[in-house]
Amino acid sequence: MNSMQVVVCTYNRCESLRDTLRALKAQTVNEDIELEVIVVDNNSADSTKMVVEEAGRGSRIPIRYLFEPRQGKSYACNTAIEQAQGEFVAFVDDDVVPESGWAQALCDAFLSFRADCVGGKVLPLWAQTPPSWLMSETVRKPIWDLLALLDHGNGVITANASDNNFLYGANFAFRKKALKDIGPFRVDLGPAGSRPLRGEDADIVSRFLKAGKKVIYTPHAIVHHKVSQQRMQMTYIRQWKYLWGKTTSLMHPIHARLPGWLVKECIGHGMRALTAYGQRKRENGIQHELQFWTQLGQIVGMVERRWRRYPQSA
């Protein structure tokens, strides 16, 4: 008998969580797989607990509620890992809807490929028809990355040590034993209340790869990620890229001093973006603007880190 705990870390999204739990209750798995859902309420002020209790009544798949008062998704993830007793621990976000065969597909990949970490497709569930520029091949890849959308195609892929953003936290799973080897999620990364940082998922997958663990993408484990109208706007996209830049400066603090080349490149991308927009080359402008905001975030993150480390010299 193989067992899997499915973890949903949630914060003030009880209505969206309801959809996620409905989809998890509809999972179809073989008789030799024991499935349980663990919902970690990360200090929500809405009706999250009531939604979880309602979903658990009469459910053929057990649904367990945990409360984590320390604010931060990584704290919630680590609490779930401590409580999980199964061989496999899977994670989905509270704004995704897994397909009915999702959990079985993850288990199949673990067993067929002797994987330590498995993830799959994260496809969009658009709140409304997306703007044409968002679907353009020129800007689709970088923008879909920041929307946590992922599609590596229809074949199974084994990650290389250098693969970045290979899997996303909206749809990945781990062997519990391998998680113990790697260590917990970094609590200085990831969203925490009003702190919109990211990177906790990229960091842990990166640590798996550096440790020589086997990381697999399977196209059969599919979830659908809700993309709200707000996330389709450039205001949101600019903020996300800036915060991602700050996050990467925390994940990879390799520079003792602010690199001059980085400042030069950042300014260059900003100027090229303005030029492209002036010439009505919107897609080209978006490409350069995304680079500008990412590098500006990296610069600010480095300055802030140095300020905290050397307050007197700063």
Q: Kindly compute the dihedral angle of the four CA atoms of residues 189, 191, 197, 198, in this order, to the nearest 10 degrees.
A: 70
Name the residue type at position 190.
G
112 vs 164: which has the higher pLDDT: 112
pLDDT class for 138, splitting at 50, 70, 90? confident
Average pLDDT score over residue span 76-93? 95
pLDDT of residue 255: 59
pLDDT class for 313, splitting at 50, 70, 90? very low
pLDDT of residue 18: 97
Q: Which of 67, 41, 72 is nearest to 190 (CA)?
A: 72
pLDDT class for 312, splitting at 50, 70, 90? very low
148: pLDDT strictly greater than 90: no
Q: Which of 239, 295, 240, 288 is nearest to 263 (CA)?
A: 295
pLDDT of residue 102: 98
Which pairing describes strands 2-10 and 63-67: parallel, antiparallel, or unpaired? unpaired
pLDDT of residue 258: 82
Of all residues in the chain, what percent carry a pLDDT higher than 90?
70
2: pLDDT strictly greater than 80: yes
pLDDT of residue 244: 82
Average pLDDT score over residue span 101-126? 97
pLDDT of residue 165: 81
pLDDT tens digits, 205-225: 999 999 999 999 999 999 999
Residue holding tokens 């799973």? 173
pLDDT of residue 301: 87
pTM: 0.85
151: pLDDT strictly greater than 50: yes
Give the lowest-confidence range in 56-60, 79-83, 221-225, 245-249: 245-249
pLDDT of residue 310: 44
pLDDT of residue 134: 85
178: pLDDT strictly greater than 50: yes
Query: What is the DSSP code string of the chain?
Result: -EEEEEEEEESS-HHHHHHHHHHHHT----TTEEEEEEEEE-S-SSSHHHHHHHHHTT-SS-EEEEE--S-SHHHHHHHHHHH--SSEEEEEETTEEE-TTHHHHHHHHHHHHT-SEEEEEEEEEESSPPPHHHH-HHHHHHHHHHTT-B---SS-EEPPTT-SS-S-TTEEEEEHHHHHHH-PPPTTSS-BTTB----HHHHHHHHHHHTT--EEEEEEEEEEEEE-TGGGSHHHHHHHHHHHHHHHHHH----SS--HHHHHHHHHHHHHHHHHHHTT-HHHHHHHHHHHHHHHHHHHHHHHHHHHH-TTT-
- Average pLDDT of the chain is 91
Most confident of the ranges 26-30, 252-256, 279-283: 26-30
